[in-house]
A and B are shown apart, each in its own frame.
Chain A
Amino acid sequence: MPVIEADDLGRSYVSTTGILRRRRKTVEAVRGVSFEVGEGELFGLLGPNGAGKTTTIKMLMTLLLPTSGHARVLGHDVVAEPREVRRNVGYVFGGDRGLYDRLNARDNLRYFSELYGVRPERQRLRIDELLELVGLRGREDERVEGFSRGMRQRLHIARGLLHDPAVLFLDEPTIGIDPVGARELRTLIGDLKAAGKTVLLTTHYMFEADELCDRIAVIRSGTIVAEGTPAQLKDAVSAGHVLEVEAYGVHPDVVASVRRLAGVRSVSIEEDGQAQRLLVQVDQGVEVAPQVLALLDGTTVGRVVTRQPSLEDAYVELVGTSANGQD
């Protein structure tokens, strides 16, 4: 039996504008999302901002009621049995909020231990274990208001694990954290998976999803556009290669011209300081480097590389393709 099941899950938000003439506007944040997560699996929901990742996780966490479809966590319906779901899941989100700044780290954990029903005789030991696990041992008596973002995030994870939940929902846990802190958190998330936890992770960092997730669902505009292992997603675009050209001051007309070349599947530009990176995804067996360089005549060109597609290339193509499809 899957630990997490989402079946045609949908959520819309209604907002009103105007004072005298009230106008209602309905926004479909999640449109019929379906997926399953098995026991001990680390499943990633990958998508751009506003894709519906957090809304999906909040429905599974029982914080939002779905407007359509069904979802079950450990066999419990998220609408009909919210208490049973809450007993068995931990929720961690990214950012500065979600902690009591004026309490120290230990008191924050004590507060939530009580609310999550951690037995009194087990509480002190459990808090000590978790402080050790997240690397906050020795800082537990300091007020949280003096903590760095990375420390806060680690404390968040400790809070989410207090009641030793079987399922963890991690909503962009590494957002805004410095590279070293983010790497430590990824190691910690990997350890949780190794300990047998079922984890649903949302992120928009490709390397994070690639490094951590067993399977990934790419979500865009509230719809899942692809699902599979990182390798499967890469394979979906690997019947070809990527031409990467470092250049300075690429004109938009050149991008349009490259896009029109035969065998070119997609073109994107990434800013890299003063330089730009022109990424051209090309069909298998097609060589477009000479034509692209010819089109860039007059533009300062740096390194030119041909490589296999990465998960990020797969993501850009999937999201870009579905976006074009919808537009």
Chain B
Amino acid sequence: MTRIPGVARMLTVTWWLQLKMLSASAFNGILQFVWPLFFATTAFLVYRQNGDPAALVYAGLGSAVMGLWSAIATTASGALQRERWHGTLELLVAAPTPFALVLVPITVAMTTIGVYSMGATLLWGWLLFGIVVPVASPVLFVLSLVVSVLAVAMFGFLLSVSVIRYRTAWALGNMLEYPGWLLCGFLVPVTLFPTWVTWISWALPPTWGMEAARQSSAGESPWLALALCVVLGLAYASVATLLSGAVLRSARRHATLALT
């Protein structure tokens, strides 16, 4: 067995088992089902008021990615907190697998829930509000969504790393949920914000993923936005990987791994 297939298998099996855990609770399942639709419906009802179909399409696409962001921002940072409560965080650290690799399937499992949320929102908008997102370049559109999903997952990875050292850092995800909706341009264009705010928006990978999805939907070239989304996603992943080692060492120094 070579190293890469071994790692790929480890990531796949642990991702699947994490997903199994997340979907084991009926209550959690219902919540994950209703939560994104609730906010999407609110957005659709607001945007429907001005009678502009283009605005409704804007909201339809934005709401879909908004659900993805919420699923990851709020739950990825809570994922390691859940490991603390289970008493498994120390066991994950005690495993010989590099801790960054242990974290990836946990974050990706959350992202999978987010992907469901994205699809469900598009379907909900179509069934109840008749919103059909016109897609001029289907391949590029799907590619934009896939890249957005991965980039958001990397952002979630970075958030989850902070919980290793600080046990209340899970609240960070909750704090970022609603500002993220605005800053990433899910509901309103980022160009409406003051310049200093747009700088923050540009530093967030979903902003570019969203831009790429809108551009490919409109038949424009999404490549620059896609490239920026990939670069930012990789940058977040690199920072998270580097940080995970330092943060883990700090947690071992300050004895915070066993704390709940």
Contact = CB atoms under 8 A, between A and B. Distances in A.
Contacts, number: 85
Interface in B243-257: 249, 252-253, 255, 257
A129 B86 CA distance: 26
A210 interface: no
Which interface residue of A96, A100, A119, A120 has the most chain B CB atoms within 10 A?
A100
A114 B9 contact: yes
A91 interface: yes
Contact of A86 (B13, B14, B21, B96): B96
Given A63-B257, A95-B87, A102 B13 contact: no
B168 interface: no
A101 B10 CA distance: 21
B30 interface: no
Contact of A110 (B13, B21, B25): B13
Contacts of B10: 114-115, 117
Interface string A195-226: 00000000000000000000000000000000
A66 to B, nearest CB: 10
B93 A63 contact: yes
Contacts of A91: 90-91, 94
Interface centre among B90, B92, B257 (most CB of A within 10 A): B90
B249 A65 contact: yes
Nearest to B249: A65
The contact size tier of chain A is 20 to 34
Contacts of A62: 94, 252
A153 B113 CA distance: 32
B20 A107 contact: yes
Given A102-B21, A116-B95, A111 B14 contact: yes
Interface-centre pick from A86, A101, A107, A114 (highest chain B CB count, 10 A): A114
B167 to A, nearest CB: 14
Contacts of B17: 100, 103, 107, 110-111
A64 B95 contact: no
Name the residue in B14, B24, B91 with the highest tally of chain A Cβ atoms < 10 Å from its Cβ: B91
A166 interface: no
Contacts of A116: 95-97
A110 B13 CA distance: 8
B88 interface: yes
Interface in A226-241: none
7 contacts: A58-B258, A65-B249, A102-B25, A103-B20, A103-B24, A111-B13, A143-B24
Interface of B: 1, 6, 9-10, 13-14, 17, 20-21, 24-25, 86-88, 90-97, 102, 249, 252-253, 255, 257-258
Closest 5 CB pairs of A and B: A97-B87, A115-B95, A102-B24, A98-B87, A87-B96
Interface of A: 13, 58, 61-65, 83, 86-87, 91, 95-103, 107, 110-112, 114-117, 119-120, 143, 159
